[in-house]
């Protein structure tokens, strides 16, 4: 393939110095170099015309038949990109993912597809900025990637909130109606049971071939009354905005949200405390990321548990009659979106769960499609969110467990200056100049901070993959500091440690990293991959294994609420699900300020939510927010539109 690189339409970059802002680079590429028509991007990896659904000029949806029609073909090499615990100084994990894919494809001529998450608009307009990569290693057009894309996140929001509305509506109507009145309204005369109703009948052990009029009074009562215990409801509404004031709300306080009490003359105000999560933390998003096809998506959505009845029975989306409608809202979202990098190499964008409060990985189906399209000698480069203790651990133990895919190599991204912070460097404040510790040579700080990197390397090796460290280069890094990172990496058992400058030079700047990844994959058998724990262990045992093996904790403490929930989940048959711990991304511990490799700490589990539809349990540890807040000066201050050209300006 290397001889045909130019024929595939890859772009030859002419990087500028100093490197312009990310949005300026993106718009420069679009206007001066030009986008490759999305149909031609698809042809790079052998997609047929009927396997590409254009979505504007820069994007296309890829139906799952692109994978299914190639089911007998061998998979390519599976590579995950992760990083050290993030700092305000930035590590460049997304940039490295894209830069590595550009190097493998446009420089080395290897069939390669990058698979990344769709970014949330919360951090895009908040403090973190976009997630398209950066500099000369990014997805273009940046503004389309970071804003609405193909509407998948909006679909998740709509589906999640439809289910939330169904919960309160059902409780509202059950509050004032007898079982028989409920049943007659659910099954009006002349209408049979709908498909989702037949699912509930089957769950209750009632013959689903019966007609509504044929059910006994006892069967009608069991079918119609869910009797949801409001204290057990874990399902919240969502929005794709960082809005801290919606973390806790009271719903149903309107004047008309009252019902006549059964058996009395008084009125009952139907209200309760609830809250909002950010959309990417929704279980619907987790389902999207882990579903294998439309049928699996439908089953997972219908199986999502929103709470329990007063009798202790789990209540699902299908029980509420919502499963089919949710699947309809999500039917287009199951297809990944095809885009391109600044060097015109292909990218599949799909799903967008946060790693600190969800699975933190793009979808199973995007990776499966990519692995089939690139072929046995090609590469699927996929990204795991935040630090390796979160995104990589969930990638291995949850995503790979459900997909059956086996990675060969993990790339761990580190920077000299971020390691200095882990080594005890002073705090960094937005808008203030960096301290001299970060701009001048300080090998001692780098060496101390490298302990954080070493722990991540040791963790990755527990899964049987080869580890390549990518030292993401910054202009103030010195040869001695870079050498200190490389030495610490190799002493910890890394397969290789390579300096990479893709941000400033694109694929050419990551050529050495790409060569190291190729060699690491060739020198490893996918059969060496293994999980950290057996899902059949108890819930507490699995949480303790992750906490001790990955975080380095001494033990785990469970709050009374968490203990009560564990008992309920095991009784409901959810005890054998994998674990998705929600914790801060900034530290191995639950204390965000504890840099490096903390010791002598316990993990505290304050509550556990079930994501039974997606297929995992979700312990919340420490003070973790499921909807972030905005800073004093959010990113949206800089975002505007050029009224003459129509261009978006100010994204970062």
Whether residue 128 lies in the annotated active site: yes
Whether residue 199 lies in the annotated active site: no
- The span from the CA of 305 to the CA of 315, in Å, is 5
Whether residue 474 lies in the annotated active site: yes
Closest CA to 397 of 414, 379, 411, 384: 384
Spell out where 155-311 has E strands: 237-239, 249-251, 258-260, 267-269, 272-274, 276-278, 305-308
- The span from the CA of 11 to the CA of 20, in Å, is 18
Closest CA to 460 of 162, 177, 82, 110: 82
Exactly one of 125, 193, 386, 588 is catalytic; name it. Answer: 386
How big, in percent rounded to 5, are the helix, strand and coil portions of the chain? 40, 15, 45
- Strands 237-239, 137-140: pairing kind: unpaired
- The span from the CA of 627 to the CA of 313, in Å, is 29
Q: Which helix H or strand E contains 30, and what residues bound it?
A: none
> What's the gap between Cα 458 and its chain centre?
24
- The span from the CA of 508 to the CA of 371, in Å, is 24
Spell out a b/e string for 392-425, using b for 16 or more CB atoms within 10 Å of the CB, else e: bbbbbbbbbbbbebbbbbbbbbbbbbbbbbbbeb
- The span from the CA of 572 to the CA of 455, in Å, is 36
The DSSP call for residue 533 is S
Q: How far apart are the first and last CA of the chain?
A: 35
- The span from the CA of 605 to the CA of 603, in Å, is 7
Whether residue 55 lies in the annotated active site: no
Cβ pair 401, 615 in contact under 8 A? no
Cβ pair 78, 464 in contact under 8 A? no
Exactly one of 61, 67, 70, 93 is catalytic; name it. Answer: 93
Exactly one of 87, 95, 316, 337 is catalytic; name it. Answer: 95
Exactly one of 55, 145, 503, 558 is catalytic; name it. Answer: 503
Q: Name every residue whose Cβ is closer than 8 Å to that of residue 117 and which is 6 or more positions away in sequence.
A: 131, 349, 350, 351, 352, 353, 361, 362, 383, 385
Whether residue 553 lies in the annotated active site: no
3-state secondary structure of 5: coil
CA angle 523, 527, 528 (to 5 degrees): 65
Whether residue 616 lies in the annotated active site: no
- The span from the CA of 100 to the CA of 509, in Å, is 9
- The span from the CA of 540 to the CA of 23, in Å, is 46
Whether residue 582 lies in the annotated active site: no
Exactly one of 354, 395, 396, 474 is catalytic; name it. Answer: 474
Exactly one of 355, 370, 450, 494 is catalytic; name it. Answer: 355
Whether residue 432 lies in the annotated active site: no
Q: What is the dihedral of CA 15, 431, 453, 622, to 10 degrees?
A: -140
Question: 223 phi and psi, to 5 degrees?
Answer: -70, -45
Q: Which residues pair with 274 in a beta bridge?
A: 249
Cβ pair 317, 301 in contact under 8 A? yes
- The span from the CA of 316 to the CA of 241, in Å, is 27
Q: Which residues pair with 251 in a beta bridge?
A: 272
Exactly one of 67, 117, 200, 583 is catalytic; name it. Answer: 117
Exactly one of 5, 43, 65, 128 is catalytic; name it. Answer: 128
Q: Which helix H or strand E contains 39, and what residues bound it?
A: helix 38-44
Positions marked active-site: 93, 95, 117, 128, 355, 386, 474, 503
């Amino acid at each position: 393939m290397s001889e045909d690189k130019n024929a595939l339409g890859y772009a030859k970059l002419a990087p500028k110095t100093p490197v312009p802002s990310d949005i300026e680079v993106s718009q420069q590429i679009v206007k001066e170099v030009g986008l490759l028509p999305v149909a031609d991007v698809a042809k790079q990896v052998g997609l047929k015309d009927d396997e590409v659904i254009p979505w504007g000029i820069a994007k296309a949806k890829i139906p799952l038949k692109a994978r299914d029609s190639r089911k007998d073909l061998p998979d390519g090499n599976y590579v995950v990109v992760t990083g050290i615990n993030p700092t305000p100084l930035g590590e460049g994990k997304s940039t490295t993912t894209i830069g590595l894919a550009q190097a493998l494809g446009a420089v080395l001529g290897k069939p390669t597809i990058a698979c990344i998450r769709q970014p949330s608009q919360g951090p895009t307009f908040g403090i973190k900025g976009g997630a398209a990569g950066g500099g000369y290693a990014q997805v273009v057009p940046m503004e389309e990637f970071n804003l609405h894309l193909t509407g998948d996140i909006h679909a998740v929001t709509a589906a999640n909130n439809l289910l939330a509305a169904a919960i309160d509506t059902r409780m509202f109507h059950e509050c004032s109606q007898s079982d028989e009145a409920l049943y007659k309204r659910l099954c009006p005369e002349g209408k049979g049971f709908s498909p989702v109703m037949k699912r509930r009948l089957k769950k209750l052990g009632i013959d689903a071939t019966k007609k509504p009029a044929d059910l006994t009074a006892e069967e009608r009562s069991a079918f119609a009354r869910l009797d949801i215990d409001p204290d057990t409801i874990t399902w919240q509404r969502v929005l794709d905005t960082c809005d801290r004031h919606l973390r806790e709300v009271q719903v149903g306080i309107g004047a008309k949200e009252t019902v006549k009490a059964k058996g009395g003359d008084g009125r009952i105000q139907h209200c309760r405390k609830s809250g909002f999560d950010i959309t990417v933390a929704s279980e619907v998003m987790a389902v999207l990321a882990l579903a294998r096809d439309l049928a699996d998506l439908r089953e997972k959505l219908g199986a999502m548990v929103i709470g329990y009845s007063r009798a202790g029975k789990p209540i699902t989306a299908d029980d509420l009659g919502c499963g089919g409608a949710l699947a309809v809202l999500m039917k287009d979202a199951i297809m990944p979106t095809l885009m391109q990098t600044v060097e015109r190499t292909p990218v599949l964008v799909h799903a967008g769960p946060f790693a600190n409060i969800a699975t933190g990985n793009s979808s199973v189906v995007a990776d499966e499609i990519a692995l089939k399209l690139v072929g046995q000698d090609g590469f699927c480069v996929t990204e795991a969110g935040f630090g390796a203790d979160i995104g990589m651990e969930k990638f291995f133990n949850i995503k790979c467990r459900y997909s059956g895919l086996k990675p060969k190599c993990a790339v761990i991204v580190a920077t000299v200056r971020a390691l200095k912070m882990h080594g005890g460097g002073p705090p960094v404040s937005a808008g203030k100049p960096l301290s001299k510790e970060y701009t001048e040579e300080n090998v001692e700080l780098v060496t101390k901070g490298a302990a954080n990197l070493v722990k991540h390397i040791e963790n990755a090796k527990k899964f049987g993959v080869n580890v390549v460290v990518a030292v993401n280069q910054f202009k103030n890094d010195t040869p001695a500091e870079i050498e200190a990172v490389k030495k610490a990496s190799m002493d910890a058992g890394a397969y290789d440690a390579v300096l990479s400058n893709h941000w400033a030079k694109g694929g050419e700047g990551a050529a050495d990293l790409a060569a190291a990844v190729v060699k690491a994959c060739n020198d490893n058998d996918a059969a060496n991959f293994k999980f950290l724990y057996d899902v059949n262990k108890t819930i507490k045992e699995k949480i303790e294994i992750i906490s001790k093996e990955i975080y380095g904790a001494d033990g785990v403490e469970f709050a009374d609420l968490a203990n009560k929930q564990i008992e309920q989940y095991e009784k409901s048959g959810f005890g054998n699900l994998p674990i998705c711990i929600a914790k801060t991304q900034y530290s191995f511990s639950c204390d965000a300020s504890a840099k490096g490799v903390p010791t002598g700490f316990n993990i505290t589990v304050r509550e556990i939510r079930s994501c039974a539809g997606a297929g995992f349990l979700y312990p919340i540890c420490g003070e973790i927010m499921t909807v972030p807040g905005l800073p004093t000066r959010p990113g949206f201050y800089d975002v505007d539109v050029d009224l003459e050209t129509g261009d978006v300006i100010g994204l970062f």
